[in-house]
Amino acid sequence: MTEVQRHDYDVVVIGAGGAGLRAAIEARALGRRTAIVCKSLFGKAHTVMAEGGIAASMGNANPGDNWQVHFRDTMRGGKFLNNWRMAELHAQEAPDRVWELETYGALFDRTKDGKISQRNFGGHQYPRLAHVGDRTGLELIRTLQQKIVSLQQEDFAATGDYESMIKVFAECTITELLTSAPTGAPGSAGVIAGAFGYWRETGRFVVFNAPAVVLATGGIGKSFKVTSNSWEYTGDGHALALRAGANLINMEFIQFHPTGMVWPPSVKGILVTESVRGDGGVLRNSEGKRFMFDYIPEVFADNYATSEDEADRWYDDPENNRRPPELLPRDEVARAINSEVKAGRNSPHGGVLLDVSSRLPAEEIIRRLPSMHHQFKELADVDITAEPMEVGPTCHYVMGGVQIEADTAAAVGVPGLFAAGEVAGGMHGSNRLGGNSLSDLLVFGRRAGLGAAYYGIRLNGHRPAVDEAAVEAAGQRALVPFAEVAADAGPGVTGENPYTVHMELQQTMNDLVGIIRKADEMELALKKLEELAQRAARVEVEGHRQFNPGWHLALDLRNMLLVSVCVAKTALERTESRGGHTREDFPLMDAQWRNVLLVCAGATADELSVTHEDQTPMRQDLMDLLELDELKKYFTGEELAEHRARAPR
């Protein structure tokens, strides 16, 4: 095979978003030589797209807030399917992770007494989101990027080499995780030994030898047509984990953000931050009606206002009024918009109207929502201080991901593999609350960095060796798209255009495994995915290996297809509706399903299995943070036998 560049590191972090950078900072702090490998330039990760804020119960805006309240909100938002230990750690550690950012140089918006300002968001009982206008993700990524640079400056002062401890390998794509060669001894195979990839710029191959790999690759949204996600979101980490022998859980749960742009067509899906609603924006249908009052589900009935008057009073007097229903969790709002559009009460371009112009003075809108103002003005010719925005649901986030141990972020089943952020599953259950993603990145990014560092330290110098046969195979596989389809492949069989296959995949997932799902449509989707996989195997690209987007897409397609099969199979299997999984044929939530995790395993679509696994029962002290009456809506009677209200201790 052609020459392969080699690098040795203690920890390799794949992905340079919030989770990856925070993991790298922690691994370096423990003295581990760390590589950060990312598909884009340093500082361009998808985290920059986050707008609203970071959820952390600092209690700056309402002193009643604390980690227990945040934990409760997170579990409610996820319809109690969450990995409760992750939700607990997340709620407990988020404030420290935010305050730490200030010591790295972050500049959040302030309260009058000089603390970090916190704003309201859907599903959060108190104003909880630390923010910088509506560009919080940019602040987060830049702060972490600049922290990495400051660590590199310290290393330069100590060693004369900026990259002696942390090196960023930008525009470098990992295509396979490498495990140790099987020796026959039990447990000798399937241990992480490194990763294989290529430089986007030159197309040359690169191998990282490392005993610990942190996946921080984000989500899978590019498998859907209407999405807020960038080209990078091709499910790489999800697919890499499966091929290395790890499990994915909760893949049926996809968050459709209720408010994406719908017009013009070229920007369809681009995110409109939830802060618009958090700061007073309301949703109306074509009849001018604030329709969300008609969509308050029974489980949330106690907490949401039933009249416009009460909802409007809440902004100034949250103690004596209930919240506006526009601030229900995202899954509820997205479904409501979908129903309004289906009923024909849609805005001119097939969405609904999101209005902040009649709710806040123009200068206040520009101060609080500057990038929304800018985005609508530049891309849609809409002045949001004077007229409403047209919005509709857009594929935004995957709750499912690599099954990990909560405390260490270690992937179940593959020693040396760790996962943090969107690529990890469990934390958000069936639906993520806005603001809980940025905090998730920091809390579990740090824990994954710790986990990977300590795992490597405990190996005591016994680094697993990369299986060279796997390196050879990975190189050959990466070059397949350059080979012409054999003339004897069959009558009429020709090379496929990767862009065409990708667009058909996006249309299939959007139409058949989208926001509202039915068994026959998903069965059809699985059939189509099989056909697309066959066509993807025949993809042919023009040109050569130097910065060739057609080739890059051809390689990403393999991951998107595998992950899409996971989504379709698990969505077909779960015969209930919960959070980011809505079945038209099974519209109700079923307490019997709450305890069930659907676990995907298998390196290819053909080998993919979906098995049922019981959740670990929630610790009693956490269960007791919630009232029995609320828990009864989600749990079976048996599961609640030990609740404080039943079994006083």
Give me the least distance between CB of 558 and another protein, in Å please: 17
Query: Which range, of 356-364, 374-382, 432-440, 625-633, touches another protein by CB under 8 A?
Result: 374-382
- By CB under 8 A, tell whether 435 contacts another protein: no
- DSSP class of 383: -
Report d(CA 516, CA 256) in Å as an integer.
10
Per the listing, tokens 């191998």 go with 207
Q: Contacts with another protein in 159-218 (CB under 8 A)?
A: 162, 201
Q: Which CB, 497 or 604, lies closer to another protein?
A: 497
Active site residue 277: yes
Q: Which CB, 48 or 565, lies closer to another protein?
A: 48
How do strand 212-215 and strand 11-14 relate by DSSP bridges?
A: parallel
* Binds another protein by CB under 8 A, chosen from 32, 46, 79, 277: 46
Report d(CA 22, CA 570) in Å as an integer.
31
Report d(CA 551, CA 498) in Å as an integer.
8
Q: Which CB, 349 or 632, lies closer to another protein?
A: 349
Classify residue 107 by burial, with Cβ atoms within 10 Å: 0-12, 13-18, 19+: exposed
Report d(CA 57, CA 363) in Å as an integer.
29
* Binds another protein by CB under 8 A, chosen from 474, 541, 568, 571: 541
Active site residue 463: no
CB 416 within 8 Å of CB 212 = yes
3-state secondary structure of 115: coil
Give me the least distance between CB of 256 and another protein, in Å please: 18
* Binds another protein by CB under 8 A, chosen from 67, 71, 205, 263: 263
Give me the least distance between CB of 165 and another protein, in Å please: 14
> Which one of 257, 368, 517, 535 is the catalytic residue?
257
Give me the least distance between CB of 216 and another protein, in Å please: 16
> Which one of 46, 128, 277, 368 is the catalytic residue?
277
* Binds another protein by CB under 8 A, chosen from 41, 483, 603, 647: 41
* Binds another protein by CB under 8 A, chosen from 547, 573, 604, 608: 547
3-state secondary structure of 53: coil
Query: Which range, of 177-185, 225-233, 403-411, 610-618, touches another protein by CB under 8 A?
Result: 225-233
* Binds another protein by CB under 8 A, chosen from 510, 550, 604, 622: 550
Q: Contacts with another protein in 467-526 (CB under 8 A)?
A: 497-500, 503
* Binds another protein by CB under 8 A, chosen from 30, 62, 92, 104: 104
- By CB under 8 A, tell whether 387 contacts another protein: no
Give me the least distance between CB of 151 and another protein, in Å please: 9
- By CB under 8 A, tell whether 21 contacts another protein: no
Q: Contacts with another protein in 268-287 (CB under 8 A)?
A: 270-271
Torsion sign across C-alpha atoms 630, 633, 635, 638? positive
* Binds another protein by CB under 8 A, chosen from 64, 182, 264, 348: 264
Per the listing, tokens 């002696």 go with 164
Query: Which range, of 313-321, 397-405, 539-547, 566-574, touches another protein by CB under 8 A?
Result: 539-547
- By CB under 8 A, tell whether 102 contacts another protein: yes
Q: Which token pair is 406? A: 């909560």
Q: Contacts with another protein in 577-596 (CB under 8 A)?
A: none
Q: Which token pair is 429? A: 């259950």
Give me the least distance between CB of 605 and another protein, in Å please: 25
CB 418 within 8 Å of CB 410 = yes
Report d(CA 447, CA 198) in Å as an integer.
28
Report d(CA 388, CA 380) in Å as an integer.
12
Q: Contacts with another protein in 109-168 (CB under 8 A)?
A: 109-110, 113-115, 117, 132-133, 135, 137-139, 142, 146-147, 149-150, 152-153, 156, 162
Encode 196-260 in three state secondary structure: EEEECCCCCEEEEECCEEEECCCCCHHHCCCECCCCCCCCHHHHHHHHHCCCEECCCCEEEEEEE
CB 596 within 8 Å of CB 613 = yes
> H-helix or E-strand containing 5?
strand 4-8
User: How far from the centroid of its chain's Cα atoms is residue 564's Cα?
Assistant: 15
Q: Which CB, 367 or 527, lies closer to another protein?
A: 367
Q: Contacts with another protein in 309-328 (CB under 8 A)?
A: none
Per the listing, tokens 């009982």 go with 125
- DSSP class of 578: B
**Residues noted as catalytic:** 257, 277
